[in-house]
Structures are given as structure tokens and as C-alpha cells.
């Protein structure tokens, strides 16, 4: 009788667990969707000085991510891990996948040549290409637009999710949220009097 109760109790617990996981999409997806809403986010402000313009950009990103800015190269990288030379040398490994987003300003004032579908982000028209597999990793997203004679590019790269769809979706949602927060403005630099260096 005690054994029968134990078997019935274990069966009920197993069924409840299965039901809970199937509704939430698995334990990671439930935790991930809660984390993306509950995590604290920070805001980055960065300025780039071009030949005749200043570009100011801002964006939000999850607290704890690493910011690597190269103002002289007109680029800012965000990634969900500390910097590393090789994935095998990453501190703590890449247990939950690797995400890197690069925001680039191209002062060459040429029109974007990216093929891809048109998308609206924060009221601006961008060209978007999405790839997966091979060097594109689990998923890569490239966005490009031209405003005020300057080309803006965003490149997002996700890898290391080991075909765990909830983990990939979590990272994609984080990337989407960062990209949606991206804002920039340009202003002409004051003219320098002739004869000044």
C-alpha cells in the first residue's frame, strides 16, 4: 500500500512537471522571458567626430555586458561576455552562447549596398539581412541605413546555443531590444577660421 502511494505520488509529480514545462516551452524559456523583462539595463552614450560632423549615439543594453568602444574607428561593440581571444579561452566558457553586436559609423558618405528586406526601426528605414550556419554562427543580423550622408551599420552575431531553440530565441529577443533602443543624431561641426590648424 505504501509502495502504491509512492508510485502514484511520483507519477502525479512527473505529470505536473511535464505539464509545466510543456506550457512554458521548457525551463530555460520561462526563466529567459522573465529575465529579459526583469534584468536591469544600462544606457551607453558615445560620440564620434567625423571630418565635418559629430555623430552622437545612444543605446540600452543588459547590465553586465561588456562595452568595447573604438571612437577612432567609429565603432562600438557590445557582448555578453568579457573580451576573449578565442572561444575556448573565454572566462567560464560559453555555456549560454555568445552574443556580439557592433554599431558602426561609415563616414565615406556612400549609399548602402546591402541587399535585404526593408524594415522600419524607430521611424527609420533600414535594409536587413539575416543568415545562419557556417561563419554566420547560429544567427547573424546585418542592418544598414544612410542618414545625413553617413552610413550606419549594425551587425549582430549569435553562436554557441547548441541548437537550443529557447536559448537562441532569448538571445534574439535581447538583440532586438538593444537594436530598438538605438538612436543617433548628427550635427555639423562649427567652421574653423582659415589659417587655424
17, pLDDT greater than 50: no
Query: What is the rounded CA–CA span in Å between residue 131 and residue 144?
Result: 15
Q: What pLDDT score does 193 carry?
A: 54
29: its cell numbers: 524559456
Query: What is the rounded CA–CA span in Å between residue 176 and residue 43?
Result: 15
2, pLDDT greater than 60: no
- The angle, 0 to 180 degrees and rounded to 10, between the axes of the packed helices 165-181 and 27-38 is 20
18, pLDDT greater than 50: no
Instruction: Give one DSSP letter per residue of 93-149, joined into a string.
Output: TTTT-EEEEEEEEETT-------SEEEEETTEEEEEEEE-SGGG-SEEEEEEEEETT
Q: What CATH number was assigned to the domain covering residues 41-188?
A: 2.60.120.1690
Q: What pLDDT score does 15 carry?
A: 40
Residue 105: which of 148, 149, 152, 58 has the closest Cα? Answer: 152
143: its cell numbers: 542592418
The alpha-carbon radius of gyration of the chain (Å, integer) is 22
62: its cell numbers: 543588459
Instruction: Give the three-state DSSP class for 65.
Output: coil
What is this structure's pTM? 0.72
Q: What pLDDT score does 49 carry?
A: 87
Q: CB-based contacts of 28: which residues, under 8 Å, 6+ apart?
A: 164, 166, 167, 170
Contact 29, 20 (CB under 8 A): no
The per-residue pLDDT for range 124-154, each reduced to its tens digit, is 889 999 999 888 889 999 999 888 878 889 9
62, pLDDT greater than 80: yes
The per-residue pLDDT for range 25-52, each reduced to its tens digit, is 333 333 344 344 445 899 999 888 888 8
Distances in whole angstroms, Cα of residue 27 to Cα of each of 33, 103, 166, 175: 10, 32, 9, 21
The per-residue pLDDT for range 74-91, each reduced to its tens digit, is 899 999 988 877 766 776
100, pLDDT greater than 50: yes
Amino acid at each position: 500500500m505504501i509502495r502504491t502511494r509512492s508510485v502514484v505520488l511520483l507519477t502525479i509529480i512527473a505529470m505536473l512537471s511535464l505539464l509545466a514545462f510543456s506550457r512554458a516551452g521548457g525551463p530555460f524559456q520561462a526563466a529567459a522571458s522573465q529575465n529579459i523583462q526583469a534584468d536591469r539595463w544600462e544606457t551607453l552614450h558615445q560620440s564620434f567626430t567625423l571630418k565635418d560632423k559629430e555623430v552622437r549615439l545612444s543605446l540600452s543594453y543588459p547590465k553586465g555586458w561588456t562595452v568595447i568602444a573604438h571612437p577612432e574607428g567609429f565603432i562600438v561593440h557590445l557582448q555578453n561576455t568579457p573580451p576573449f581571444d578565442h572561444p575556448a579561452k573565454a572566462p567560464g566558457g560559453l555555456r549560454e552562447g555568445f552574443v556580439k553586436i557592433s554599431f558602426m559609423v561609415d563616414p565615406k558618405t556612400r549609399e548602402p549596398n546591402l541587399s535585404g528586406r526593408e524594415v522600419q526601426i524607430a521611424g527609420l528605414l533600414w535594409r536587413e539581412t539575416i543568415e545562419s550556419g557556417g561563419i554566420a554562427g547560429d544567427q547573424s543580423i546585418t542592418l544598414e541605413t544612410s542618414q545625413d550622408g553617413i552610413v550606419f551599420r549594425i551587425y549582430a552575431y549569435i553562436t554557441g546555443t547548441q541548437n537550443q531553440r529557447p536559448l537562441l530565441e532569448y538571445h534574439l529577443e535581447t538583440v532586438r531590444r538593444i537594436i530598438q533602443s538605438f538612436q543617433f543624431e548628427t550635427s555639423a561641426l562649427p567652421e574653423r577660421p582659415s589659417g587655424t590648424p
